[in-house]
Structure 1
Amino acid sequence: MKDLGLPLTYFLGLEVHTDSTGISLNQHKYIQDLITLTGLQDSSSVGTPLEVNVKYRREEGELLPDPTIFRRLVGSLNYLTITRPDISFVVQQVSQFMQTIRHLHLVAVCHIIRYLQDWAGCLDTRRSVTGWCMFLGNSLISWKSKKQVRVSKSSTECEYRAMYAAYSEII
């Protein structure tokens, strides 16, 4: 390795921002490249990483003729979990179909990518929206959707704020 004397700004898909309070990481450009790769630039964003009440099965639907794009997208989403811990579970769910990839599985991956478009959702204030639903068994007992008080410097910070708010509600 060689030190070029310049501050680090972008490395392996990670954007690095340094200021007096510390270092923050995000993968905004990486997400934009992923959205462009899938051709979803003009599609609307969605509020959840997977469709609600949909069960994806290994043997349901048509086989995907060329599984290469699915595998590439799942690998990219897996790498993206570095700064987006909110998608870790759903990426693990869709990655179980790597051997028998159906068209519905590709649709699920595209849904995750459409969810990623929603970071810093308010274009005026750049504040993200915190939202959750809490269930006791099958009964909804608490829910919330609210614009965050502060602008987050990264999607990870945004998710930690949301987790803290949900945890406080549980307590």
Structure 2
Amino acid sequence: MDLKQHLLDSDFTNSLADASLFIHGSGSHLIYVLVYVDDIIVTGTHSRTIDAVLTAFSDRFSIKDPVDLHYFLGIEVSRSKRGMHLMQRKYIHDLLLKTNMSDAKLVSTPLSTTPKLTLTSGAPLADPSQYRSVVGSLQYLSFTRPDLSYAVSRLSQFMHRPTQDHWQAAKRVLRYLAGTSTHGIYLHASSPNSLHCFSTSPVKLHGFSDADWAGDTDDYISTNGYVIYLGRNPISWSSKKQSGVARSSTEAEYRAVAKTTAELCWLSSLYSELRIQLPSALVIYCDNIGATYLCANPVFHS
């Protein structure tokens, strides 16, 4: 609260879309401060303004010497003129050491397509604590690994009663990670839709939506999936079961589009606060014709 008050007194505004984000704008000068407890990222459009903010911090608080962004909340950052690579290599290595899976046989996919995992497959584990610990660690790891989203979402559904089959599936994810520890997200510095706050051409924000209709053989609930791109950079993704049973593939796909729309609306609100120009109509791609027609129909939306 002391830090928040200091920022507000320094003419920063607290973002409504993200309570941990503070924004200061004066003409063409923009400063963003992202706070998580005592870890802080400060960036902006002019280096001198950033230095002034850091000096004000050091006058008021006891802080370490500011350095370029290399590590933040377990996420490693590698920067170059072409862009920025986000990964969690050290986090993966620590997890593999903790589970004695560093020398495990590698696999090319995180989850087997057959047979499908069910609630009753396999014998219950005598001690489920390790399974729960590993899956919890994988949830944090999926911040930079969209390729793990579905597998982690699926494994999380068995936390209350994990079995030997579920544990083998979790270990398969660890074997996949052992061979892909440097995988992550690459954010390009420039693209056909480069990110410039004061660019005359708007940044392209678009999402891809899909659903697995009645994919869960235990309760026949569908799974939503979406990934959202800013230009060619993936910035948000999710794989999550729906709240109820969809009675058709069109309904399942329409629910998935609704979830994607909600995320796009939140991102649009965030970017407006960041003073990033976006087109008035954002685009969602969906591969179900029935859901596409339903989205365009202003009447039958119940």
TM-score by length of 1: 0.66
CA contact (8 A) 2:145 2:183 kept: no
Counterpart position of 1:38: 99
User: Which has a greater percent of strand?
Assistant: 2
Percent of aligned pairs with the same amino acid: 39
Partner of 2:179: 118
Counterpart residue identity of residue 94, structure 1: L
Structure 2, unaligned runs of 5 or more: 1-37, 39-62, 187-228, 235-302
Moved more, 95-104 or 21-30: 21-30
Which structure is richer in relative contact order (CA contacts within 8 A, separation 6 or more)? 1
**Structure 2: distance between partners of 1:35 and 1:63:** 23
1:70 partnered with 2:131: yes
SS at match of 2:78: strand
Q: 2:184 aligns with which of 134, 147, 155?
A: 155
TM superposition shift of 1:3: 4.6
Amino acid at match of 1:64: L
Which aligned pairs between 1:13-52 and structure 2 lie closer than 5 A? 13-52=74-113
For 2:127 and 2:72, locate their aligned partners in 1 and report how far apart those are by CA, in whole Å: 30
Q: Flag the structure with larger Rg.
A: 2
The aligned counterpart of 1:7 is 68
- CA positional deviation for 1:8: 2.9
Alignment: residue pair count: 130
SS of aligned partner of 1:108: helix
1:101 has 2:162 as partner: yes
Secondary structure in 1 matching 2:185: helix
Give yes or no for contact 1:70–1:106 (8 Å, CA) kept in 2.
yes
Structure 2 letter corresponding to 1:92 = S
- What is the rounded CA distance, in whole Å, between the counterparts of 2:81 and 2:117 in structure 1? 46
Q: CA RMSD in A?
A: 2.6
1:127-167 CA-to-partner distances (Å, cap 9, x unmatched) read xxxxxxxxxxxxxxxxxxxxxxxxxx85224xx99x9xxxx
TM-score with structure 2 setting the length: 0.39
Structure 2 CA distance for aligned equivalents of residues 101 and 50 of structure 1: 16
